[in-house]
Structure 1
Amino acid sequence: MNIDNLNWKILKCLQQNARQSNAEIGRQVGVSSPAVSERIKKMEDLGVIQGYNTLISPFEIGYQLKAIITMRAFMGKLKPFLEKVKTYDEIVNCYRITGDENFVMEVVLKNQKHLELFIDQLIVYGETKTQIVLSHVVKQKELKPII
């Protein structure tokens, strides 16, 4: 899909606040609410807009730790892990990557004991390395047009 300047303006508005009305977006970008609605629907249908999320603070709902865990899968354990990884509630993001490791996982945990028990589940699939997250320096940034 060719994303024109108007679509980028609409996407910028949605990235800043996806709950604002089409009328409000229309006022910001200079078109009618139906025009905004039509463009948003088209971008959803084409997969440009993949969804809308509510961001929840894990710390405010009881999690005490956030960690990044990298894993190098053992021979023969890659495919089983690809199925199993989807079942872990602790994993909020998982990426299959290139390099020495196969996966990078962002996890939330209740405490250190929970971390220990979770790592015990992972080590049957591969070698893990864990880093505790101290703070979130860059949050989900809005995407900008490719020039």
Structure 2
Amino acid sequence: MDELDQQLVSILQDNARITISDLSKKLALSRPSVKERMFRLQEKGIIEGYSAQVSLPAMGREILLIIQVSGLKVSPQEFEAFVQHKYDIIECHRVTGHVSYFLKAAVTGIERMRLLIDSLIPYGTINTSTVLTSPIVRRKIQP
């Protein structure tokens, strides 16, 4: 990635809905050049896609949880298949160390939190933390 590619990726991380015309002005490149760079970055897998950043509280998901799962009682494949269908879980990471998985969940209230935790108990030892604040939510990725 050259300097222009890095600038392009940075701008798109701030606003993926920016127009090609506005990108071309910011980068001092022609629109076809900007399109070509974007296409090349997608082909290389640097840009994986474009999506909306949704406010969890505005969607009614005011409680954010980090859940550690250790002492897994089933196979990783079985556990991962189970969490695929738990829509309160918004991220799932299999990790090294004594903890097998870190889950990020967003729930509507204490009752939903209880139900989610209860559903996970048969799969291993569960340790849940409630997020109080998030000083870094989405940091721009730079090469």
- TM-score range (shorter-chain normalised) is over 0.9
1:74 Cα deviation (Å)? 2.3
After superposition, the C-alpha distances for 1:24-54 in whole angstroms (9 at most, x for unaligned) are 1111111111100111011112211011111
User: Is contact 2:68–2:101 with CA below 8 Å preserved after alignment?
Assistant: yes
For the aligned residue pairs, the C-alpha RMSD in angstroms reads: 1.2
**Percent identity (aligned):** 27
Unaligned runs of 5+ in 2: none
Asked whether the equivalents of residues 90 and 106 of structure 2 are also in contact (C-alpha less than 8 Å), the reply is yes
Match of 2:118 in 1: 120
Residue 21 of structure 2: which of 8, 23, 32 is its match?
A: 23
Within a 5 Å distance, the mapping from 1:33-48 to structure 2 comes to 33-48=31-46
Corresponding position: 1:108 with 2:106: yes
The 8 Å contact of residues 69 and 106 in structure 1, kept in 2 or not, is answered as yes
Match of 1:86 among 84, 91, 115: 84
Q: Secondary structure at the match of 1:107?
A: strand
Gaps of 5+ in 1: none
Q: Distance in 2 between matches of 1:73 and 1:85?
A: 16
Q: How far apart, in 1, do the equivalents of 2:11 and 2:42 lie?
A: 15
How far has the Cα of 1:75 moved from its partner? 4.1
Could you state the TM-score of these two structures normalised by the residue count of structure 2? 0.94
SS in 2 for 1:143: coil
User: Is 1:137 matched with 2:135?
Assistant: yes
Counterpart AA for 1:46 = K
CA contact (8 A) 1:77 1:125 kept: no
Are the equivalent residues in 2 in contact too, given 1:64–1:111 (CA < 8 A)? Answer: yes
| Residue equivalent to 2:65 | 67
Following TM superposition, the consecutive aligned residue runs of length 4 or more in structure 1 with deviations greater than 4 angstroms are none
Say if 1:90 and 1:107, in contact at 8 Å, map to a contact too: yes
